Structure 1
Amino acid sequence: MFLRIFVFAALIAIVYFGIRRIANDWRARFRDLDKETHERDLKERARPDVIDLKKDDDGVFRPGSGDDKGQGPRR
């Protein structure tokens, strides 16, 4: 009887820690991907040929006023 309880407890512990390790590995992988994507986006945003679009009052995205980078059309 004691052996059966011990075996079930051991199996439950193995499954629990296995699932926990898999979840942590996936979380770390997605965190790394998010970091790489963020760094790539920052590099692309810093390029001089990239225009920032601002949402206008009517809901249409238009080039910004150019105050922050000195780019965009003047009105």
Structure 2
Amino acid sequence: MLLRILLFVGLAVLVYLGVRRIWNDWSGKFNADAEEAKRLARERDKLERQRPDVIDLKRGDDGTYRPKDRDDADKRH
């Protein structure tokens, strides 16, 4: 009877460790894929900002976003 209990406990531990390892492997893979997607999106955004047809917006005092003026850097509020 004791041998049967030890056998089932041993099997349960092996199954638990296997499931835990699979969980860690998969979650690590998904996290790595998410980080890679973020990095690619940041690179794409940086490249898009350099295009001449992209307009930079500045948030006004009223909360509305408007195109930046070229002489806006000289203004001090």
Q: Answer yes or no: same fold by TM over 0.5.
A: yes
How far the C-alpha of 1:8 sits from its partner, in A, is 0.4
- Give 5+ residue unaligned stretches, structure 1: 68-75
- Give 5+ residue unaligned stretches, structure 2: 72-77
* SS of alignment partner, residue 51 of structure 1: coil
Q: Is 2:31 aligned against 1:27?
A: yes
C-alpha distance in structure 1 between counterparts of 2:26 and 2:13, whole Å: 20
Q: Which residue of 2 aligns with 1:65?
A: 69
Q: How many aligned residue pairs are there?
A: 68
% same residue: 33
Give the structure with the higher percent helix: 2
C-alpha distance in structure 2 between counterparts of 1:66 and 1:52, whole Å: 10
How far the C-alpha of 1:5 sits from its partner, in A, is 1.1
Question: What RMSD in Å do the two structures reach over aligned CA positions?
Answer: 1.5
Q: Which residue of 1 aligns with 2:60?
A: 56
TM-score between the two structures when normalised by the length of structure 2:
0.81
How far the C-alpha of 1:33 sits from its partner, in A, is 0.5
Which of 1 and 2 has greater Rg? Answer: 2
